[in-house]
Amino acid sequence: MLAQKTFLRKTRRGNIIKVVREHYLRDDIWCGQPNCQVCDQEVENAKLAEKPKSIASVLKSPHYLVLDTNVVLEQIDMLESEGINNVIILHTVLDEVRHRSSPIYKRLRDIIANANRNFYVFVNEHRKETYIEREPGESANDRNDRAIRVACSWFIKHWKESKGCRGKDVVLLSDDKKNREHAVEEGLSVFSVEDYVASIKEFPSLLDKLKKKEKGSEGFGKNSFFPNISPLCRSTLG
């Protein structure tokens, strides 16, 4: 399937040119669940665990995690630690991380390459049911957040169609309040990173790995605070 987007652009010389962008979409990109009877894929290539276990008390049902971009950018130290497994990394997130931070992108790729961690890259930008166009007036960040939520909804619907995957859920981790509010409106399970990690009693050290932010701050690199530093020193550092 081919999606086309056509628009007019004015050159520096004042000429108007027609630009056509083509985006190829497929319906055979695997969901990554080894028990899926809808996807046509060999189990040997499985990335996600067959039976995920919830170690977070905020949600007892078996589930896989989906992270938004800022969670990866801000919490890569925590993600490298033992305890966070069975994670779906959307292509939307992977691509944005690659553009915003090469070092963090490399660290994320190293985690994905570790088969014991069960991190699976799902190419949502090329699956026809999960690809979305940017709406008029919508920012690139809002479009990407919406794409993440659309992918989460698709996984839930997709797995309900497969007997071997029923009962599986996805949990979105996001520290963006607006994104979480939209996710709740759309019927998704969503938590802030701190709320989710704090409920994992089996790995208490994860909480120490979290990058702390001032209350009410949102987004990558905003208002990170320095523990046990006076306001005067903090002002000097800032």
- Summarised one tens digit per residue, pLDDT across range 140-152 is 999 999 999 999 9
With both helix axes pointing from N to C terminus, report the angle between 177-185 and 140-160 in degrees, rounded to the nearest 10.
40
pLDDT of residue 124: 96
Q: Each residue's pLDDT tens digit in the chain (238 positions)?
A: 545 455 456 677 777 765 555 657 888 898 999 888 888 766 555 689 988 888 999 998 899 999 999 999 999 999 999 889 999 999 999 999 999 999 999 999 999 999 999 999 999 999 999 999 999 999 999 999 999 999 999 999 999 998 878 888 999 999 999 999 999 999 999 999 999 999 999 999 999 999 876 555 454 443 333 344 334 434 334 4
| Pairing label, strands 2-10, 16-24 | antiparallel
- Residues 139, 145, 149, 151, CA torsion sign: positive
| Domain edges within the chain | 31-237
pLDDT of residue 18: 56
Q: Which residues contact 115 (CB under 8 A, 6 or more apart)?
A: none
Closest CA to 179 of 218, 216, 131: 218
Single-letter residue type at 17:
I
pLDDT of residue 174: 98
pTM of the model as a whole = 0.81
Strands (E), the chain: 2-10, 16-24, 63-67, 87-90, 119-122, 169-173, 189-191
Distance of CA 84 to the CA centre of its chain: 14
Give φ, ψ of 220 to 5 degrees.
Answer: -70, 125
**31-237 CATH fold:** Rossmann fold (3.40.50)
Closest CA to 96 of 138, 135, 124: 124
Distance of CA 200 to the CA centre of its chain: 20
What the block records as the tokens of 31 is 């969901």
Q: Is the separation of the CB atoms in 173 and 69 below 8 Å?
A: no
